Amino acid sequence: MNKLYEKAKNVLPNSYSKYSNFKVAAALKLKSGEVITGVNVENASFGLSNCAERSALFTAYSKGIRKDDISEILITTEQDGFISPCGACRQVMSELMPADALVHLANNKGEIKTLKNRDLLPYAFTEDDL
């Protein structure tokens, strides 16, 4: 998990968060050991912004990686406290990551809380609901 934390911290400066000044980075670990990172990218039209979690997942999917290839994700900020994925990210994570994938929430001190993806969004809207 230290490798994931370091990868996320290393890309945190790449965050484009000039409106909120709230930098977020994510490191997505694949079962192969490969790590894909993402950062939040804001836009003056706030609805067009993208979170770090989705940036990492969309990059992975663009490379042909799929749900069964993913083992865990770590999310960090410059904050002292722990942050959790927003509702949109939780919905995307529920579909694009395995339910039992580990989700690590890290603060700027390197402290980490871990839970399972399924615990982020109970009663998620899924393809089975369509």
Q: Provide the annotated active-site residues.
A: 53
Which helix (H) or strand (E) segment holds residue 63: the answer is none
CA distance 34 to 4: 10
Task: Give the integer Cα–Cα distance in Å for 127 and 114.
Answer: 26
- 35, two tokens: 């790590």
